[in-house]
Structure 1
Amino acid sequence: MTFELHRARGPFNAAFFSIMGPYIEWNVRHHKGRVFAGLPPTVVELGSGVGANLRYLSPGSTLIAVEPNVAMHRRLRAAAGRRGVRLDLRDRLAERTGLPDRSADSVISSLVLCTVSDPAAVLAEVRRILRPGGTFRFVEHVAARAGTPTRALQRALRRPWAWTFEGCSCERDLAASVRAAGFTRVELEPYRLHSPFVTFNTQIAGVAHA
């Protein structure tokens, strides 16, 4: 299992999230602020991208960043330097982080489980690397309720959306996936954004406890 960097999509996504990051962050800031509050000194992040979540780490913290899109790496390193966060950058997939069993106090992700090839495998990997009592904290976009206009639009745009955003799916019931992953407790809140990116507007945020 490998990540194949498309010569156009990889750089496009790095540029897109650098430009649109502040707008996306403004929309989800309250939800991220709640679930990412009080992160420990060392955090594992799946799909760190260009560093949108560095603001939730204290200066001097260490981020173990699992990010297979090398087009993101330059911007991620620069963002970590600006935030005073030590960066341990891993060019690996979320399904296979290469980290030891029970080695992480906290794993975070935002807008990542929609893109991975196998969400169940990623969640199993998260459980493997979390210490007992550790937390998986997430903000993700999910499928809208069946029969709604948003759901119909998600279905209509699924192929061009996935092609543009490195396989991203708007049709996953990630709340069910997290609940079925074997965590001891899951606290999860569904919510809706009000943005022009309608297919992106149905989201969840939560904390799963190992």
Structure 2
Amino acid sequence: MKSLFMKICRFLCLVLTLPLFMLEITGLYGLYKRVFPLLAYNITFSYNDKMHGIKRELFRNVGRFASTDGTLRLLEIGCGSGANFKFYPFGCTVTCTDPNPHFEKYLRLSMDANTHLTYDSFVVTCGENMTGVKDESVDVVVSTLVLCSVGNVLQVLHEVRRILKPGGAFYFLEHVVSDPSSWIYFLQHVLQPLWYYLGDGCTITRATWKDLEAAGFSELHLKHIEAPEVTLMIRPHIMGYSVK
């Protein structure tokens, strides 16, 4: 009965999003991609305040993956407005990638505020096709709140493994689907059609930990957590790192 009710509610939500669907197929939805970086930049401050301790814990051992000469080359997928910069160790060199070029304006603001880092470049590309990044050229890859909106999670992870040096690490912090017995799971599936458009392609029903388990890393350190005080729909998170 609950499953049927969920499907009915999801259908009603889908009907409500038909105007947004029409904007997408006519190309007008592209205008939202110009506005979304500003929204994301402002949301970042609130999210970082609530997740500060968790991000500190996540990135506390990034330095151990530095090269033998002491340098640390880090690439962030879907860097957005640079929300993670303040958590990276002093002196590391950061390459930023994002498929939305309109993030660069806000990314520069974060760069100016985090002078302890060296910035290599901003590459406009999707995570599934980072051909501009050489094989085995970075020590660490980072993805936070990104795998929810990519087209193919396993292809992104394949690219991550390609560009990581042997022994390099992939750090992740992602919201995921809740337990099927919970009301959060119900709401995630009902509201997914609307959330997709408001979140610029964000999917709140992915079991991303399964993709990480299947990606072929030599080590996987993964923990399920409940993010404190964030929106109910994205409260279930996974965090950790994988080693090539």
**What TM-score bracket applies, with the shorter chain setting the length?**
over 0.9
* Range that drifts further, 28-37 or 91-100: 28-37
1:167-206 equivalences under 5 Å are 167-195=201-229, 197-206=231-240
- 8 Å Cα contact 1:9/1:165 also seen in 2: no
Would you say 1:96 and 2:129 are equivalent positions? yes
Instruction: For residue 8 of structure 1, give the secondary structure of its aligned residue in structure 2.
Output: helix
Structure 1: runs of 5+ lacking an equivalent: none
Structure showing the higher helix proportion among its residues: 2
1:90 maps to a residue whose letter is V
- CA distance in structure 2 between the aligned counterparts of 1:200 and 1:156, rounded to whole angstroms: 14
**Which one has the largest radius of gyration?**
2
Q: Which moved more, 1:86-95 or 1:189-198?
A: 189-198
Q: Quick one: distance in 2 between partners of 1:80 and 1:48? A: 12
Aligned mates of 2:153, 2:146 — CA distance in 1:
9
Quote how far apart the aligned CAs of 1:196 are: 5.5
Q: Provide the residue aligned with 1:10 in structure 2.
A: 33
Most deviating of 138-147 and 30-39: 30-39
C-alpha change, 1:63 and 1:199, in structure 2 (3 Å) is same
- Number of residue pairs aligned between Structure 1 and Structure 2: 207
Equivalent position amino acid for 1:16 in 2:
L
- 1:97 is displaced (CA, Å) by 1.2
Point out the more displaced range, 174-183 or 8-17: 8-17
TM alignment of 1:100-119, pairs within 5 A: 100-119=134-153
Cα deviation, residue 6, structure 1: 4.4
Deviation at 1:58, TM superposition (A): 3.5
Compute the displacement of 1:186 (Å): 0.4
Percentage identity across paired residues of the two chains: 27
Query: Where does structure 1 differ by over 6 angstroms across 4 or more consecutive aligned residues?
Result: none
Letter in 1 for 2:37: A
Aligned-pair CA distance for 1:193 = 2.1
Structure 2 gaps of 5+ residues are: 1-26, 67-71
Provide the residue aligned with 2:169 in structure 1: 135
1:63-74 equivalences under 5 Å are: 63-74=94-105
Q: Give the TM-score taking structure 2 as reference length.
A: 0.80
